[in-house]
Amino acid sequence: MGDQIPDSSPDPVPRLPIAGTQFFYRVRRIYCVGRNYASHIREMSGNEREPPFFFQKPPDAIVLNGQSIPYPPGTRDFQHEVELVLAIGGTGTNIGLEVAANYIFGLAVGIDLTRRDLQVAARKNGRPWEIGKSFDHSAPVSAIHAWEPRSIPTSAEIRLSVNGQVRQHGDLAEMIWKPPEIVSQLSRLYKLEPGDLIYTGTPAGVGPIVVGDELEGSVEGIDAIRVNIVE
C-alpha cells in the first residue's frame, strides 16, 4: 500500500510579512483569549470576573490582508470580532509578569471570525468550541509590526467596520487582561515559542456578516486588516 500513497508534500508554514522589512514571521500556533472586554462579556451574558481562558485556531486558518474569504459551510450566523494580536518572539514557560512584555516581538490586527450558532450550540452541550472558532479562513491578520516591549500601548482605539459602517468601537484600555498578563498566564499552560500569535479578545459590537460584505479592522497606531466575504 505504501507505494500507492500519492505525493503529499506538507504545505509551507504560514508566513506573515514584517512591516517595513523584506522578512517574514513564520507562524507556529494561534492562541485566542476568550472574553477579554467587559462590554463584550456583558453582550454575551458572561461573567466579567472569570479568569482568562484560551482556545486555538489552526495556523493554516490565516488570511492575509486584502484577500477574500469564502462564506464557511454549516452556519447561518457568521460573525466578526476585531482584536489586537501579539506576536511572540521568545521561548518561555511560567513567564513572570514583570518580564512578560519582553517576549512580545510585535503587534498586528486580527479578526476572529466565528460561526456563532455552532459555537453557542457547542457551549450549551458542554462541547469544545472548535467547530465555531477553528475552521478554514477564520483568522485574518495584518502584517506584523515589530514593537518595543516598553511601549506596547495600554490605550488605543480599536474598531471594525462593515461596508464602511462602524460595528465595533472600543479602546485597548478596556481590556481586562493586558498583553503582559496574557503572555504570563498563557505561558503557565503552554511553552511559548517564536511564531506564536495571540489574539487578545474583542470589544462589544460583534455581529453577522454575509456574502458581499467588506470588513476593515484597525487598531490606532498599529495597522488595519481588510478582507471581503465571497461565495
| 24 in Cβ contact with 16 (< 8 Å) | yes
Percentage helix, strand, coil for the chain under 3-state DSSP, each rounded to 5: 20, 35, 45
Q: What is the arithmetic mean of pLDDT over 75-84?
A: 98
- Nearest alpha-carbon partner for 73 in 130, 140, 118, 11: 118
Mention every residue, 6+ apart, whose C-beta is less than 8 A from residue 158.
82, 83, 84, 168, 169, 170, 171, 172, 203, 217, 218, 219, 220
State the Cα–Cα distance between residues 52 and 213, nearest whole angstrom.
31
Q: Of 152, 110, 117, 146, which Cα lies nearest the Cα of 132?
A: 117
C-alpha to C-alpha distances, 214 to 24, 116, 229, nearest whole angstrom: 26, 19, 7
Mean pLDDT of 81-107: 98
Identity of the residue numbered 160: L
Q: How far apart are CA 131 and CA 148, in angstroms?
A: 36
What pLDDT does 62 receive? 98
Q: What are the tens digits of pLDDT across the range 8-31? A: 555 578 999 999 999 999 999 999
Please report where in the chains the cell 487578545 appears, as a residue.
200
Rounded Cα distance between 58 and 182, Å, is 20
Domains, the chain: 13-230 (3.90.850.10)
Question: How confident is the model over 194-201, as a mean pLDDT?
Answer: 97
User: pLDDT tens, 105-158?
Assistant: 999 999 999 999 999 999 889 888 899 999 999 999 999 999 998 899 999 999
8 A C-beta contact, residue 62 and residue 141: yes
Question: What letter would DSSP give residue 228?
Answer: E
pLDDT at site 191: 98
Grid cell 486555538 is found at: 56
* Cα–Cα distance, 112 to 98 (Å, whole number): 28
What are the grid coordinates assigned to 227, written together? Answer: 478582507
Distance (Å, whole) CA 137 – CA 183: 25
Q: What is the mean pLDDT of the chain?
A: 91
